[in-house]
A and B are shown apart, each in its own frame.
Chain A
Amino acid sequence: MEIKEQRHETYVTLIPVGDLDANSSVELDERIHAIVESGCSNIHVDGREIRYISSAGLGVFISYLEELALRGGRFVVSGLADNVRDVFQILGLDKLDHLVLTDAAPQDDQLFAAKP
């Protein structure tokens, strides 16, 4: 799976391209793990190019929520297609603390400026 990365002042944006299933989610997990290990507490996943997500992809996202929350950080997922967003909603993940689902990507550091 191709995963583009953009570094910002207060957060890192990852842009996964394609299907996020049990096969490909390992790569995303490794990328996020490395970012968290480097000390970054704010992660933004630009989901516009995610065509499909299964529980394995969801699991990667939620497994970092506690760690980021403890550091006062946030996990923001933006731009999901309806079918992908539905999967979050089926399990109620869209209502979790510290996981922000939004239509638009953060234009600046505003989303990460305030503590959750």
Chain B
Amino acid sequence: MKAYLQVRCSKSQLAAIRDFAREQLAQMQVGEPVSHQIVLAIDEACANCMIHQHQCDGYSVLEVSMYRKGDVVYAEIRDSGQGFPIDRYQPEDVHHIVQRRGKGGLGINLIHHIMDEIQVEQGEDYYVYKLGKRITDDPAPRPSTAP
């Protein structure tokens, strides 16, 4: 069963999207730190649509849906914008971003690091960004901490 949330394309709506995603993941019994990472990936995908597809116009609408199929949690973001091929995007090296003093370029990088499946489906007048994360019984290993 899918749960839906519809929001206007305003960055002020990102907190509501995160709350929705956290609630759904809790109902799906997805624990930390994986839950937080999925919330982050959804936040990044939605922010990307709002900023780059709709210039945060406050009128366009995003629809976020979440469901679990077997051991994979899916989030789908339906957007009426022009679409962005996040599934084929080659993340920029972080050191290059630092050198050029950039602030952008990290969001899709995060999505690719976190999610196991990234698909972009094109409809007649919309795109659906489908993000999947495989959930295991064991907590995901925490990244190693730098000495």
Q: Which residues of A contact B (CB under 8 A)?
A: 19, 21-23, 29, 52, 54-56, 58-60, 62-67, 82-83, 86-87, 89-96, 101
B108 vs chain A, min Cβ distance (A) = 8
A60→B101 CA distance, assembly (Å): 9
If A22-B11, A56-B103, A59-B103 touch, whether A86 touches B142 (CB-CB below 8 Å) is yes
Evaluate contact between A86 and B44: CB separation under 8 angstroms: no
**Chain B residue at minimal CB-CB distance from A97:** B98
Looking at the complex, which one of B12, B95, B104, B145 makes contact with A89 (CB distance below 8 Å)?
B145
Q: Which of B1-40 contact A (CB under 8 A)?
A: 11-12, 14-15, 18, 32-33, 36-37, 40
How many residues of B are in contact with the other chain, CB < 8 A?
36
Q: Describe B's contact surface by its main secondary structure.
A: helix
Q: Which residues of B contact A (CB under 8 A)?
A: 11-12, 14-15, 18, 32-33, 36-37, 40, 43-44, 47, 50-51, 94-95, 97-99, 101-107, 109-110, 113-114, 142-146
Looking at the complex, which one of B14, B36, B99, B142 makes contact with A23 (CB distance below 8 Å)?
B14
B40 vs chain A, min Cβ distance (A) = 6
**Chain A residue at minimal CB-CB distance from B18:** A52
Evaluate contact between A59 and B33: CB separation under 8 angstroms: no
Q: Describe A's contact surface by its main secondary structure.
A: helix
For residue A66, which residues in chain B have a CB less than 8 angstroms away from its CB?
A: 98-99, 101
If A21-B47, A22-B11, A55-B107 touch, whether A87 touches B40 (CB-CB below 8 Å) is yes
Looking at the complex, which one of B36, B47, B98, B99 makes contact with A22 (CB distance below 8 Å)?
B47
For residue B146, which residues in chain A have a CB less than 8 angstroms away from its CB?
A: 94-95, 101
Looking at the complex, which one of A60, A92, A93, A101 makes contact with B103 (CB distance below 8 Å)?
A60
Q: Known contacts A55-B44, A55-B106, A62-B98; can you find 20 more A-B pairs with CB under 8 A?
A: A21-B11, A21-B14, A21-B47, A22-B14, A22-B43, A22-B47, A54-B40, A56-B103, A59-B97, A60-B103, A66-B98, A86-B33, A86-B36, A89-B143, A90-B110, A91-B94, A92-B94, A94-B145, A96-B95, A101-B146
